Structure 1
């Protein structure tokens, strides 16, 4: 098991380095025009050259990469070119908001999707048809449209929730839950559809296996067979889909945060990209890459725990 974990950690570290290096080269490739874009077309060549030297963009690319990497290892991702604030400080203040949305959405989606997938696989017939139709709607309706409908109905119409804003859990747990309830529901729609479809297919496949007939012949109840044996064997593909959806939610949260005016990473990413604040954009890419690597590692460990054959692969 230790060698399995070591291999996965090593692969994750290589992936993180590759993403960081490629992102740096892409973002800083045209370093000669960065200072010009920051100062405007009216700036003289002398002023542009001075700004380029101030930002360290006059040095060779490999030197810039080395300086950034040596600082990034210690947690220093540089400073914003516009606000002067440490990038790590900006990200720390917003990461909690995005993770609240993504983790909350994943938790809600997994619970609902597993229940729907199991019901559809067990009962088939009209129940399966209704669930499949709901899954199709979940795939077809975009999240931002669901968000707008939720705001109009539950925030503007009924007044049960606030349309915008975020309350930290440290200030009020109930206020925090109320502030993320509608965004989580909006994000969860498509995720539930994807996971439920995978769970349904995996459970149907598992129910057709010989071991299930053997367990039933031994007198085990259908509920026991499903929840103690079938779900365990069907969990592998489902975990893979959950990991993919979690990563996708990091990007999907950008639009939802804009709709609900949530001060998360998505809002910061839009602002930094619009301004051309490359250190902040680079910091966001690195943080998201770290999250993806961690999620993949956790899924691999879960897969290995469910299926010992995975550790041998």
Structure 2
């Protein structure tokens, strides 16, 4: 198991390194054009050159990257070109907000998807048809439309939740819960559709296996067979889908945070892109890559716990 973790960790570190190289080259390849965009199209060439020198853009890109990498390894991601604030401070202030949405949506999606998937597989008929209808909606309706619908119904008409804003968990748990309920619901809708469909198929397939018939012959009830044995064997594919969806939630948070005016990484991404704030954009790319590696590692560990054969793959 230890060797399995080491292999996954090393491959993750290599992946993050490759992503930083590609991202840095793509963002910094045209240094003069970057400086020109920052000072404006009417600036003189001397002004452009002076601005490039101030930001270190007059050096070769490989030198700039090595300098950035050394600083990044010590936690120094530079300063924002638009605000002058340390990029690490901006990320640290906003990352927990986005993670609360992503983790909350993942937990909610996993619980509801398991319930719906098992019900659809075991009951069939109208229940299965209903779940299939929900999954089709989840695949067909974009997250931002779900978010706008939730705001219209629960904020504008019913006044149950505020349409915008965020309350930190450290300030008020009830306030935080109220501020993240609609965003989490909007993020979860598509994930529930994908994961519940996978669980439904996996449970139907597992229920036809010989070991299930053997367990039933021993007198075990359906609930015990499904939740203690079938889900354990059907959980691998569902976890893989959940991992992909969880990574997608990080991207989906960009839109959802804009709709609900939530100060997370998504909102910071939009602001940094609009302001051509490349150090912030680069930091967001790195943080996102690290999150993807961590998520994949956790899913791999969960799959290895469910199925020891995965450790040998």
Shift of 1:134: 1.2
TM-score (norm 1): 0.99
Counterpart in 2 of 1:179?
A: 179
Cα distance in 2 for partners of 1:138, 1:296 equals: 24
Cα distance in 2 for partners of 1:153, 1:69 equals: 48
Shift of 1:126: 1.6
Q: How does 1:1-313 map to 2 (within 5 A)?
A: 1-313=1-313
Cα distance in 1 for partners of 2:126, 2:156 equals: 35
Cα distance in 2 for partners of 1:6, 1:96 equals: 27
Shift of 1:89: 0.4
Cα distance in 2 for partners of 1:10, 1:180 equals: 35
Cα distance in 2 for partners of 1:158, 1:311 equals: 50
Cα distance in 2 for partners of 1:204, 1:69 equals: 49
TM-score (norm 2): 0.99
Shift of 1:306: 0.8
Cα distance in 1 for partners of 2:99, 2:167 equals: 14
Three-state SS of the structure 2 residue aligned to 1:219 is: coil
Shift of 1:60: 1.1
Shift of 1:211: 0.3
Cα distance in 1 for partners of 2:284, 2:70 equals: 17
- Alignment length, in residue pairs? 313
CA RMSD of aligned residues (A): 0.7
Three-state SS of the structure 2 residue aligned to 1:166 is: coil
Deviations 1:256-302 (A, max 9, x none): 11110111111110110011100000000000110000000011111
Cα distance in 2 for partners of 1:18, 1:134 equals: 39
Cα distance in 2 for partners of 1:5, 1:21 equals: 25
Cα distance in 2 for partners of 1:109, 1:60 equals: 47
Shift of 1:107: 0.5
Cα distance in 1 for partners of 2:2, 2:186 equals: 40
Runs of 4+ aligned structure 1 residues displaced above 3 Å come to none
